[in-house]
Amino acid sequence: MRIIKLDATDSTNTFLREISSVETLDDYTVVVARQQNKGRGQMGKEWQSNAGKNLTFSVFKRIKGLTFSNQFYLSIITSLALYKTLECYNIPNLFVKWPNDILSANKKIAGVLIENVVKQNQLEHSVIGIGLNVNQTEFNNLMNATSLKNCSGKTFNLDEVLHKFLIEFKLSFKRLESGVFEALKADYESKLFRKNKPSTFKNAEGSLFSGFIKGISSSGNLVLLLEDEIIEEFTLNEITLLY
């Protein structure tokens, strides 16, 4: 496995996409940066990380046999691999916050940004970017952030944590390639933050409403039970789950 280590870069996703456009990369080529200057999360949000304290990396993966409509399964397997990695380190009260944040209790410990290349309705390859808070203990004004060290009191070797994740990611990808879509979906749904609990959401217009998370659709939309027993699906652009 090729691992490219950088002292600093704007974004590991951007760096990996750029080199993939000029050379043929092997599966699971990894770019990991000691510092990201312009790290990105979902919906264009900035990913904040202290240099040398955390893992900020991206993985290149060729995709076969996965249609555009099933692309959310990449979020599922990445979330499950992160979840199982943290479980191995005895991080408590783990949840997946839709679509692919990992929480300990109600605090965010990891985030994912997936960028796909699609040709003729088939995914050709993906760049899967991950920010995992490891040894950072203070997060300025980010009240809902935490780290492995905050949760355990231990200091971790970043290379060891990265290696453990890559093992879990490969195992999760084998499950995807074997076609066990329903089992993966059920596994993901069993770990959803606030599932079957009364929760507050904000829509795109800024209005608040209540509902119960019931699961996800096959395309990755969040399925909510609303007032009057109405079941409705929402995309990431339509709603935000408030803590």
pLDDT in tens, 59-68: 999 998 899 8
Q: What percent of the chain has pLDDT over 90?
A: 84
Q: How far apart (Å, rounded) are the C-alpha atoms in residues 88 and 82?
A: 10
Asked whether residue 168 falls in the same domain as residue 207, the answer is no
Cα-based angle 180, 161, 78 (whole degrees, multiple of 5): 25
Between CA 95 and CA 105 the distance in angstroms is 7
User: Do 229 and 119 belong together in one domain?
Assistant: no
The DSSP letter of residue 63 is -
pTM over 0.85: yes
- Kindly state the average pLDDT of the residues 210-224: 97
Is a pLDDT exceeding 90 seen at residue 234? yes
Question: pLDDT-derived band of residue 38, with 50, 70 and 90 as boundaries?
Answer: low
Q: Measuring CA to CA, how many Å separate 237 from each of 103, 115, 183, 198? A: 21, 16, 26, 21
Is residue 14 located within the same domain as residue 68?
yes
pLDDT score for 63: 94
What's the rounded Cα separation, in Å, for the pair 116 and 71?
A: 8
What pLDDT was estimated at residue 121? 84
Asked whether residue 227 falls in the same domain as residue 141, the answer is no
Q: Are residues 181 and 202 in the same domain?
A: no
pLDDT in tens, 2-13: 999 999 999 999
Q: Tally Cβ neighbours within 10 Å of residue 43.
A: 9
- CA-CA-CA-CA torsion sign (72, 75, 78, 81): negative
pLDDT(233) > 90 = yes
Looking at the fold, whether 183 and 202 belong to one and the same domain comes out as: no
- Indicate whether 37 pLDDT > 90: no
Q: How high does pLDDT run on average in the chain?
A: 93
* pLDDT above 60 for 43: no
Question: What is the extent of the structural domain holding 233?
Answer: 198-241
Structural domain total, the chain: 2
Residues 111 and 225 placed together within one structural domain of the fold: no
219: CATH: 2.30.30
Q: Which of 165, 189, 213 is the last residue of a domain?
A: 189
Out of 40-44, 152-156, 239-243, least confident range: 40-44
For residue 149 the two structure tokens come to 């060290």
Task: Give yes or no: residues 136 and 204 share one domain.
Answer: no
